Amino acid sequence: MARIVVLTPNPAIDVTYRVAEQRLGETVRVADVSRRPGGKGLNVVAVLRLLGSPAVALQPLGGAPGRWMAESLLAAGTEVVVVDAPGDTRTTVAVVDDRTHPTLYSEPGEALPGATWRALADAVAQHCEAGGFLVLSGSVPPATAAEHVRHLVVAAHGVGARVLVDTSGDALLAAADAGADIVKPNEAEALEATGTGAIDAAAAALIARGAGTVVISRGDAGLCAIGADGDAFVQPAVPDVSGNPTGAGDAATAGLIAALLRGGDIAEALRWASVVGAAAVLSPVAGDIDPADLRPLADRLPTGARPTFPATEPTFPPAPVPVDLANSGAVRKP
């Protein structure tokens, strides 16, 4: 299977504080703290691995937080490529209780200098391969220019890889302008970026700019895909699935890519995306699915055809032993 490289351009350490009750303007005792490497691209990598499609996690990381993040990913068995970034890797903090919706504090991250963007493009060219995919997923750092996104797309195309971009705003438009093979915003992101009021108009605007196919996720309304050739596909969601929707869109991206690399067409890929996204909703943690849920969910899919998942559980290489990144070449750098 051709290689998948997933670039998370603005990674973060996700910190979750569990409290008895969220109260503004007061001192609140934290009952429990968890920390994990975060970012939409890393959710995609984790789900791809569970689907039996291991991917390379590429990201700019800086400072002690960046070293901790790389070590954590490596210890979990993820193949990691690090580009050195100035400053410390950012943090996001979620405050959760059992009473109300979580409160999220998200740092913007450090702007990346031109040298770091060039190093990222070089890493894309080095680690992508013909027939594979570059997936650019998540927010971009402050001051990201259209040319930064374009160079990443051009680098992947230069070695024969396809490009899927799941981002928003100006970066989404830049990806379309650069000729990304697939752009995958959600409905709100597609409408906001294009300034349109309907999905078909948003898709048409992105295709007119140069995108090959536009896939739009619509939550429990499912997904749709519109190609530059005018073909359109609508895929309903798996009905009656409830749970944690955080990361479901990232899981859908993983399902889409996994199906395409197995030779499926866009209709089959949408079915995979729908089922894998639904499996993620059943998990309390973003970036996680239980492969045993896939076939039962596929049987409930409201469509004439069912996605074909592997007959056996995927097998993975053993996780490497954690290392001291400061004194080891275990984490590859371009």
Catalytic annotation present for 181: no
Q: How far apart are CA 147 and CA 153, in angstroms?
A: 10
Q: How far apart are CA 239 and CA 225, in angstroms?
A: 19
- Catalytic annotation, pick one of 32, 250, 265, 290: 250
- By residue count, the chain amounts to 334
Burial class from Cβ neighbours inside 10 Å (0-12, 13-18, 19+) for residue 259 reads buried
User: Please, are residues 78 and 45 in contact by the beta-carbon 8 Å criterion?
Assistant: yes
Residue with tokens 């060219």: 125
Residue with tokens 């590429």: 58
Q: What is the DSSP string of 216-263?
A: EE-GGG-EEEEETTS-EEEEPPPSS--S--TTHHHHHHHHHHHHHHTT
Catalytic residues: 250
